[in-house]
Amino acid sequence: MTASAAEIQARTLAGYADASRLRQVHDRDWVLDQVTGDPRVLLDLGSGIGQLLGTALDRFPSLRRAVGLERSPHRIAEATERLRPYGDRVALHEADLTAPRTLPHRPDVVTMTSVLHWLYPDERRIFEWTRDHLAPDGAFLLTTYHPTRDEHGLGGEDDLVRTVLETQHADVPGLFAAHGVLPIATRTRTTEELKPLLERYFRIEATLDRDAVVTVESAGQYEHFHAATFGDYYSRLVAPEHRAGFFRAVGDTAWRRQAETGHVSRMTVRLWRLVAA
Ligand SMILES: C[S@@+](CC[C@H](N)C(=O)[O-])C[C@H]1O[C@@H](n2cnc3c(N)ncnc32)[C@H](O)[C@@H]1O
């Protein structure tokens, strides 16, 4: 049975709470472990459905304000529901991080997890904005993902998508280019590229690396993770009537890959602890 476009739309980007258990959740505690002292204001950039903010509010009773900036109104709505019990300790704002507006907050902690690649190539604006908003002794805790990329700039999730599309197309990098889909591994700058970019605005106090290994319990679980994390980013490479099949094929390919290699994907995640330069 073929799913309707509405069904596909309903499941893409929904279900992030479940899907993020595979990868993003690990960043959340790792990042919050780096918070020192008794923070008063924490700002999360690309706050999604508010999970990091909720964890921070539980972990740090000193927090009088946890602020989220997020582009998606659906995610803000879900975060609003999740964080309602915290009352006025929470402030959520709809915002585009590539063109951020001035805010009245002076956070002593700013976090950004699993977001930076979506801002490529405009990351400078949010770096400058963060430097200007941080409290004098504040720290910016940033995570960045680093899949291995090939000569076409594809890697990580792109590679899985390429395996799916190769059954129909001889030149998948050309198909990406023709549809204006920038490979995520290209959006994700290397640590060598990021370092000088960050050093224009911050002093790098420390970096920590972890190996993010994604494994799943079923093809369907990965299909769901892909849809909730990437939405229609890649599926616009196929005709609307083939999108349900595309999501299924991504799940099946991930499951096969895990059977062959022991995991679906593996990449370094870097945590940067940054202070004003
Ligand atoms: C992979 S999710 C990460 C969410 C959360 N930080 C976490 O670690 O679970 C990326 C988030 O960045 C948001 N985002 C992407 N581009 C954005 C932009 N230009 N401005 C604001 N938010 C953006 C997306 O809507 C999404 O919620």
Cα 246 from Cα 223, distance rounded (Å): 9
Q: Which residues contact 53 (CB under 8 A, 6 or more apart)?
A: 42, 44, 47, 66, 67, 68, 79, 83, 90
Q: What is the pLDDT of residue 173?
A: 96
Mean pLDDT of 29-33: 95
pLDDT at 4 over 50: no
Query: Which protein residues touch ligand 1 with a CB less than 6 Å away?
Result: 20, 24, 27, 46, 48, 51, 70-72, 75, 95-98, 113-115, 118-119, 229
Residue by residue, DSSP assigns 37-71 as S--SEEEEET-TTSHHHHHHHHH-TT-SEEEEEES
Instruction: Give which of 83, 142, 153, 76 is closest to 114, Cα–Cα.
Output: 142
CB 32 within 8 A of CB 12: no
What count of other Cβ atoms lies within 10 Å of the Cβ of residue 239? 10
pLDDT tens readout for residues 199-225: 999 999 999 999 989 999 999 999 999
Q: How confident is the model at residue 228 (pLDDT cuts 50, 70, 90)?
A: confident
User: Nearest to residue 140, comparing CAs of 185, 106, 101, 167?
Assistant: 106
Q: For residues 153 and 162, give the distance between their C-alpha atoms in angstroms, rounded to a whole number.
A: 12
Pocket probe for ligand 1: among 13, 118, 233, the residue whose CB has the most ligand atoms within 8 Å is 118
Q: Decide which of 3.40.50.2300, 3.40.50.10800, 3.40.50.150, 3.90.1150.10 is the CATH code for 5-276.
A: 3.40.50.150
What is the CA(47)–ligand 1 centre distance, in A? Answer: 6
Pairing relation of β-strands 41-45 and 109-112?
A: parallel
24-28, 38-42, 49-53, 231-235, range with the lowest pLDDT = 24-28
Ligand 1 atom, smallest distance to 229 CA: 1
Q: Residue 277: is its pLDDT beyond 90?
A: no
**Amino acid 1: pLDDT:** 32
Task: Classify residue 117 as left (phi > 0), alpha (psi -120 to 50) or beta.
Answer: alpha
- Determine the Cα–Cα distance for residues 8 and 160; give it in Å rounded to an integer: 20
Query: Helices (DSSP H) in the chain: which residue ranges?
Result: 5-11, 16-19, 24-32, 51-59, 73-83, 116-119, 123-133, 157-165, 172-178, 184-187, 191-199, 219-230, 243-261
Among the ranges given (144-153, 179-188, 222-231, 254-263), the one the predictor scored with the smallest mean pLDDT = 222-231
Say what the pLDDT of residue 13 is.
55
Q: What are the boundaries of each domain within the chain? A: 5-276
Burial of 36: CB neighbours in 10 Å, binned 0-12, 13-18, 19+ = exposed
Model pLDDT, residue 26: 78
pLDDT for the residue 16: 57
Give ∠ CA 141-142-147 in degrees, rounded to 5. 150
Look at 17 and 167; give whichever has higher pLDDT. Answer: 167
pLDDT of residue 105: 87
How, if at all, do strands 65-70 and 41-45 pair?
parallel
